[in-house]
Amino acid sequence: MKALRSFSAAVIGTAFMLAAVATAQAQSPETMRQWQFDMSGDGYELVMHEVPMPVAGPGEVLVRVHATSLNRRDWYMLNETIGERGLDYTGNVPLSDGAGEVVAVGEGVTEFRVGDRVASTFFTDWVDGKRNAAVRPSARGAGPGTGGMLAEVIVTTPRALVSIPDHLSYEEAATLPCAGVTAWNGLFTQGNLQPDEYVLLEGTGGVSSFGLIFAAAAGAKPIITSSSNEKLARARELGAVGTVNYRENEDWQVEVRALTNDAGVDHVLEIGGRDTLERALQALAFEGHIALIGGLTGAAPPIPVGALMGTGGMASGIYVGSRADFEAMNAFIEEHEIRPVIDRVFGFDEAQEAYDFMGNGSFMGKIVIAH
Ligand SMILES: NC(=O)c1ccc[n+]([C@@H]2O[C@H](COP(=O)([O-])OP(=O)(O)OC[C@H]3O[C@@H](n4cnc5c(N)ncnc54)[C@H](OP(=O)(O)O)[C@@H]3O)[C@@H](O)[C@H]2O)c1
């Protein structure tokens, strides 16, 4: 475990002080803890820092974060070398995804009140409608000052928060902002998923596990792949109508088509990239929709024009989604009383262990940190 270098004895009593935030901003504690990326050789290490307690200025909201969750991008960032892709994350407070309780609001804030249960939006500046050039730099947790959630307290704007469904715990709600909204956007906003349609999910990680439970709740027919038969058994319990082990069956797309009586799947959440895109296209039905999401196995090759023209297929590039997507998803989650798939919950002091657990690949669904 990496050193808690900046962590000092002064932190004793922080929990007491944080409680005081809830009652009166005037009595706010002076410091709180947050994890940051520090330089380590030519890369980064996670280090706990004690920093001044933020305050909610005019138009801002102070949130006591109770849980965060990891996405693959967070793991990639920590494991990059400095300057790779032209970016330097030194000083970054990581993680886009978190949920907590409003403990103070600044002047002029009418959207939220002290005590409200909220989650972060992935982009602080994509409220609704189409994406534009201002959206990308507002992705949380991808550089210093981008509003990363791996902290005891954060300050943000009301438009960068959503209310969370009543039936979800903070740990469950913390899994929604990136993986949940991405799956929602791919299947519903872009894909217009309908009951009885076939949906292909690749692997059982964060995005795919949300795709599975959303598709099942919508009355669609999810088919999922995995390297693990144990995970496939769990996926069947969660509503998968078909499962294929992609390790044991290299031509898994043939098996997927067979499961649809050779009609093909109507939707794909394409998270694999290099090793999966071509096969996923072969599994696609006429007029099917493929949501281009990730490159877990490496950068995806170009899509041959004929692969879509020949079938009337449609492809959409997905970049998580807007706050409006998040709110629509939450309404669906509430209606169907959906609970996210969580593999393991780590403590706030165990952030490095949570990253290592993602690195070893044995998890299914989401990895959470309770603060
Ligand atoms: N564009 C966007 O907005 C967006 C948003 C979120 C994520 N992403 C990207 O989407 C990808 C998935 O993200 P995530 O957070 O869901 O990842 P994750 O939770 O880390 O998913 C890991 C899982 O992917 C599966 N996998 C690995 N290689 C595979 C293969 N060859 N075929 C099928 N499944 C495979 C494995 O499932 P099994 O263990 O079951 O084999 C593994 O456990 C990443 O590349 C991420 O960067 C993009």
**Does the beta carbon of 70 sit less than 6 angstroms from any atom of ligand 1?**
no
**Does the beta carbon of 206 sit less than 6 angstroms from any atom of ligand 1?**
yes
- 263 C-alpha to ligand 1 centroid (Å): 25
**Does the beta carbon of 202 sit less than 6 angstroms from any atom of ligand 1?**
yes
Whether 18 has a pLDDT exceeding 80, the answer reads no
What is the pLDDT averaged over residues 316-329? Answer: 98
pLDDT for 224-267, tens place per residue? 999 999 999 999 999 999 999 999 999 999 999 999 999 999 99
* 118 within 8 A of 101, measured Cβ to Cβ: yes
What is the pLDDT averaged over residues 43-57? Answer: 97
**Does the beta carbon of 73 sit less than 6 angstroms from any atom of ligand 1?**
yes
Q: How confident is the model at residue 341 (pLDDT cuts 50, 70, 90)?
A: very high
Whether 26 has a pLDDT exceeding 90, the answer reads no
pLDDT of 85: 87
Closest Cα to atom 37 of ligand 1: 203
Counts of helices then strands in the chain (DSSP H, E): 11, 15
17-25's contacts with Cβ under 8 Å and 24+ in sequence apart are 17/53, 18/64, 18/103, 18/152, 18/153, 21/53, 21/62, 21/64, 21/103, 21/104, 21/153, 22/64, 22/101, 22/103, 22/114, 22/115, 25/55, 25/56, 25/62, 25/104
Percent share of the chain, pLDDT over 90: 90
What is the pLDDT averaged over residues 265-286? Answer: 98
Ligand 1 atom with minimal separation from the 70 CA: 15
- 281 C-alpha to ligand 1 centroid (Å): 17
Ligand 1 atom with minimal separation from the 179 CA: 6
Q: What is the pTM of this model?
A: 0.94
Ligand 1 atom with minimal separation from the 71 CA: 15
Whether 3 has a pLDDT exceeding 90, the answer reads no
**Does the beta carbon of 156 sit less than 6 angstroms from any atom of ligand 1?**
no
Q: Look over the chain and give the mean of its residue pLDDT values, rounded to a whole number.
A: 93
What is the pLDDT averaged over residues 47-56? Answer: 97
**Does the beta carbon of 303 sit less than 6 angstroms from any atom of ligand 1?**
no
- Domains assigned to the chain: 9-177+340-370 (3.90.180.10), 191-317 (3.40.50.720)
Ligand 1 atom with minimal separation from the 366 CA: 19
Run of H or E residues at 98 = strand 97-105
**Does the beta carbon of 131 sit less than 6 angstroms from any atom of ligand 1?**
no
* 90 within 8 A of 105, measured Cβ to Cβ: no
Run of H or E residues at 21 = helix 14-23
Pocket perturbation via mutation, ligand 1, pick of 225, 271, 293 by most ligand atoms within 8 A of CB: 271
Q: How confident is the model at residue 29 (pLDDT cuts 50, 70, 90)?
A: confident
* 138 within 8 A of 123, measured Cβ to Cβ: yes
What is the pLDDT averaged over residues 268-287? Answer: 98
pLDDT for 124-136, tens place per residue? 999 999 999 999 9
**Does the beta carbon of 227 sit less than 6 angstroms from any atom of ligand 1?**
yes
pLDDT for 166-209, tens place per residue? 999 999 999 999 999 999 999 999 999 999 999 999 999 999 99
**Does the beta carbon of 267 sit less than 6 angstroms from any atom of ligand 1?**
no
Whether 342 has a pLDDT exceeding 80, the answer reads yes
Q: How confident is the model at residue 12 (pLDDT cuts 50, 70, 90)?
A: very low
pLDDT of 132: 94
**Does the beta carbon of 243 sit less than 6 angstroms from any atom of ligand 1?**
no
pLDDT for 55-106, tens place per residue? 999 999 999 999 999 999 999 999 999 998 888 999 999 999 999 999 999 9
